[in-house]
Amino acid sequence: MDVALIPPPPGPFTVPAVPGWAIPRGSVADLAEAAFLAGAALNSLDNLVRANPPWAGAWRARLALCCAAAAARYAGRAEDEAALRDAWMLRPADGDPGPAGRLLAAWRRLAERSPGADVTSLQSTCGLLGIGWSPELAALPEEIDRELGAARPAPLAAAAILRAIDAAAPGAGLLGWWLAEQVLALRLRWPLPVPLLMGEAQSSAFRGPGRGGRLRPADDGFDAAVCLAVAQASARVLRCAAEIAPRAGRLQAVAPKLRAKGAGEAIARLLDDDAVPGTLTTPKLSRWGARRLFERLETLGAVRELTGRSSFKLYGL
């Protein structure tokens, strides 16, 4: 077994949690209070990001899936997480995954690359999000630089970018949420963004006063709403990490019991991605060997089958 590919079993590691008092329990109109909650929540999340556990890739990939599903709802599409996962995993080799798969591709790209955006990457991302390119969008990299130079708190910088895009291209809302994630990561100096805010875009944080509908970027109270969304999202993604961490520990603990050639690469893939096909093949692992390996891991409680199907199964933490 290629044990060199398997990270060593983790030492004691407790996933940080957002303090209960920092999780919003209702609307908060005061910007200072909302920013305080966001700061406390981001501190907990920052501790996990900087710890960079061996399963951080799987965690970010799962968050990308969650945000892509939220993006699909935002765009009026019907695909849920399972459908998006299938669109991605069933795509032809180097082929177009279709509109739903492209949404997931955008958020996977966010989670896998160092934060930042230039005109070329923005044009490519607009293509994935189904947004037409316009000259007004070309000025966004400079706007991001201005916001970062102003040294505003990370949630307020993200809110400012959402306002800038809403003013420049009102139909490019998905790009605004995608860039807001980039701004948070740049402002917090994270090596990789954490797919975070898109999952809260239609949450209670943006409920307008009374029956006034949802807050728009130009509305009073939008900055406070973004702060609340950051606090809520931080708590949610840390709960996701707390679910993944023990599964990853179990996977690493059973690794020495595996005799299949290529098991190390399969385990490395499971620690780095949301899902791995049961038909995985590598230079050391045949389709038959992969099937037996994943069945063994499932029996040991180290992975879950994610689809409930009898064919083309997908496995993950």
Considering the domain architecture, whether residues 152 and 275 belong to the same structural domain is answered as: no
Task: Kindly state the tokens that stand for 247.
Answer: 């599964």
Q: Are residues 56 and 97 in the same domain?
A: yes
Q: Token pair for residue 103? A: 């949404």
For the segment 274-298, the average pLDDT, to the nearest whole number, is 88
257 or 269, which is more confident: 269
154 & 233 share domain: yes
Q: Are residues 140 and 261 in the same domain?
A: no
Is the domain of 59 the same as that of 203? yes
How would you classify residue 44: left for phi > 0, otherwise alpha for psi between -120 and 50, otherwise beta? alpha
User: In this predicted model, what pLDDT tens digit does every residue of 25-62 receive, in sequence order?
Assistant: 877 878 999 999 999 999 999 999 999 999 999 999 99
The reply to whether 20 falls in a domain is no
In this predicted model, which residue has the larger pLDDT, 208 or 279? Answer: 279
Judged by average pLDDT, the poorest of 173-177, 205-209, 239-243 is: 205-209
- In 3D space, the residue among 83, 75, 170 whose CA is nearest the CA of residue 128 turns out to be 75
Do 199 and 250 lie in one domain? The reply is: no
Q: Are residues 291 and 310 in contact, defined by beta-carbon separation less than 8 angstroms?
A: no
Burial (0-12, 13-18, 19+ Cβ within 10 Å), 64: buried
Q: Specify if 13 maps to a domain.
A: no
15 in any annotated domain? no
Please report whether residue 98 resides in a domain. yes
The pLDDT-based confidence of 83 (bands split at 50, 70, 90) is very high
Check whether 205 has a pLDDT greater than 50. yes
d(CA 252, CA 264) in angstroms, rounded, equals 10
Other Cβ atoms less than 10 A from the Cβ of 119: the count is 14
Query: One-letter amino acid identity for 300?
Result: L
**pLDDT score, position 122:** 93
pLDDT at 78: 93
- Quote the pLDDT of residue 1: 46
Predicted local confidence at residue 290, as pLDDT: 85
Report yes or no on 191 lying in a domain. yes
pLDDT at 262 over 80: no
Domain check: are 121 and 198 in the same one?
Answer: yes
Same domain, 273 and 231: no
In a domain, 186, yes or no: yes
Q: What are the start-end ranges of the H helices in 95-213?
A: 98-112, 119-129, 140-149, 154-168, 173-188
In the prediction, which pLDDT does 93 show? 77
Are residues 279 and 140 both part of a single domain? no
pLDDT cut 70: percent of the chain above it: 95
pLDDT at 8: 54
Which residues, at least 6 apart from 126, have a Cβ–Cβ distance to it below 8 Å?
Answer: 132, 133, 137, 172, 175
Give the type of residue at 19.
P
Structure confidence at residue 7 as a pLDDT band (50, 70, 90): low
- Is the pLDDT score of 9 beyond 70? no
Q: Is residue 201 located within the same domain as residue 259?
A: no
Question: Of the candidates 220, 244, 268, which is a domain's last residue?
Answer: 244
Q: What is the DSSP letter of 207?
A: B
Number of domains in the chain: 2
219-231 pLDDT, tens digit per residue, is 999 999 999 999 9
Q: State yes or no: pLDDT of 212 exceeds 80.
A: no
Instruction: Among 244, 270, 295, give the residue marking a domain's end.
Output: 244
pLDDT bracket for residue 5 (50, 70, 90): low
Answer whether residue 45 is part of any domain. yes
Q: Which of 29-43, 73-87, 89-103 has the lowest mean pLDDT?
A: 89-103
Residue 92 has pLDDT above 60, yes or no: yes
**Token duo for residue 250:** 């179990």
Q: What is the mean pLDDT of residues 249-263?
A: 83
The answer on 207 and 89 residing in a single domain is yes
Is residue 114 a part of any domain in this protein? yes
132-145 as b/e, with b when 16 or more CB fall inside 10 Å?
A: eeeeebeebbebbe
Using alpha carbons, select from 265, 274, 211 the residue that is nearest to residue 84.
274
Domain stops at, among 181, 209, 244: 244
* 3-state secondary structure (DSSP) of residue 279: coil
Its domain, for residue 138, covers: 25-244
137 shares its domain with 283: no
Torsion of the alpha carbons at 66, 273, 98 and 95, rounded to the nearest 10: 170
| Full-model pTM | 0.92
